[in-house]
Amino acid sequence: MADAASSVTVHAGPLKAVVRAIIGRTGSSAREAGLVADQLVEANLTGHDSHGVGMLPRYVEVFRLGRLKVNQHVSVVLDGGALLTLDGNMGYGQVMAYEAMQLGIERAGEYGTAVVGLSNSHHIGRIGHWAEQCIAAGLISMHYVNVISQPVVAPFGGRDARFVTNPFCVGIPRPGEQPIVLDFATSRIAMGKVRVAMNKGVEVGADTLLDHDGEPTRDPRVMFERPFGAILPFGEHKGYCLAVVCELLGGALSGGRTLHQRSPGREIINNMFSILIDPQRLGTAANLSAETAEFATWVKQSPLAQGADRIKLPGEPEQDHRRERGAKGIPIDPTTWAEIVGAAGLLGLKQREVERLAGLG
């Protein structure tokens, strides 16, 4: 049996089998466990370990607290044709966001566009995954997301945390080319990346965190040990303003709620407001495609800044990671692996079985 405290490298297929087995132990259907496994492992494959399998222990914890409901589906609160308001019923976000986008894709097929509000879902993970679902259907999509959880991000000019890492995402398909996928947290770094830094025992960059007194620090532990500190928004006032818009569109226009008190719970509730557009139906698909190609060539011809190896479009770093990790496997740090093995154990899945599924036996 491998030492649970050693770091491991696991290929995507076996890692999905591990996730399916753990999620299956929460009573999920095979479809649900498969959707969760696909999205978490895709996050690792694209280099976003913050939103990959390291989330499993938190999901198991919230499930055991009775706050994450298994085998749920979205409920239609309002069906206005191209406009849909959906409730995620505190089910697995990987199912809720998938079903919400499937409904949106169907409606965009009918009307050329769809506006989808999804509220009250558990964590929907890496938002780019949902943009990629729309891209596969030839659709542009925009996603404004808020998070109901312990506040972790300070407003611009503030000294304590008032909201969460509110991600914003835009997907643009490019026929015959890799799509553009802009997908980031509006905080300086995603909360999961602070966790990854803490688990690796490394500091975060300067100008990223405040301690509980509102003073700058590079120690990731301030986000996990009471009294908590805060992450700064990215891009000074501009990132903060985008976070506010994500809070209001994602949290309120979707039919969900905004964060306006300290949430004591361990659950991570996501609300997402999405706009899907079929460029063919807008009559501008050929123009979009030609102009994107011209623009991409133009920006990539800029002389390289010191330390840069090439100029990338949004989505390219993820494509690079996907190639590399698809071939070499996904590295998982010792703390994260031990936590996953521990979470599996809480559900009666033995370490030996987790290692066998991971191909480490």
Name the residues that contact ligand NAD, by CB under 6 A: 48, 50-51, 123-128, 147, 165, 167, 169, 181-185, 189-190, 193, 270, 312, 314-315, 317-318
Q: Which is nearer to ligand NAD, 21 or 92 (CB)?
A: 92
Q: Which is nearer to ligand NAD, 53 or 147 (CB)?
A: 147
HSE (side-chain half, CA atoms, 13 Å) at 237: 1
Q: Which is nearer to ligand NAD, 107 or 188 (CB)?
A: 188
Q: How far is the CB of 169 from ligand NAD (least distance, A)?
A: 6
Q: Which is nearer to ligand NAD, 58 or 126 (CB)?
A: 126
Q: How far is the CB of 357 from ligand NAD (least distance, A)?
A: 26
Q: Which is nearer to ligand NAD, 153 or 354 (CB)?
A: 153
Q: How far is the CB of 288 from ligand NAD (least distance, A)?
A: 18
Q: Which is nearer to ligand NAD, 85 or 165 (CB)?
A: 165
Q: How far is the CB of 175 from ligand NAD (least distance, A)?
A: 20
Q: How far is the CB of 5 from ligand NAD (least distance, A)?
A: 26
Contact between residue 185 and residue 43 where contact means Cβ atoms under 8 Å apart:
no
Q: Which is nearer to ligand NAD, 113 or 146 (CB)?
A: 146
SS3 of the chain:
CCCCCCCEEECHHHHHHHHHHHHHCCCCCHHHHHHHHHHHHHHHHCCCHHHCHHHHHHHHHHHHCCCCECCCCCEEEEEECCEEEEECCCECHHHHHHHHHHHHHHHHHHHCEEEEEEEEEECCCCCHHHHHHHHHCCCEEEEEEEEECCCCECCCCCCCCCECCCEEEEEECCCCCCCEEEEEECECCCHHHHHHHHHHCCCCCCCCEECCCCCEECCHHHHCCCCCCEECECCHHHHHHHHHHHHHHHHHHCCCCCCCCCCCCCCCEEEEEEEEECHHHHCCHHHHHHHHHHHHHHHHCCCCCCCCCCCCCCCHHHHHHHHHHHHHCEEECHHHHHHHHHHHHHCCCCHHHHHHHCCCC
Residue type, 38: D
Q: How far is the CB of 244 from ligand NAD (least distance, A)?
A: 15
Work out the angle at residue 166's Cα, subtended by the Cα atoms of residues 160 and 171, and round it to the nearest 5 degrees.
155
Q: How far is the CB of 283 from ligand NAD (least distance, A)?
A: 27
Q: How far is the CB of 339 from ligand NAD (least distance, A)?
A: 19
Q: Which is nearer to ligand NAD, 184 or 240 (CB)?
A: 184
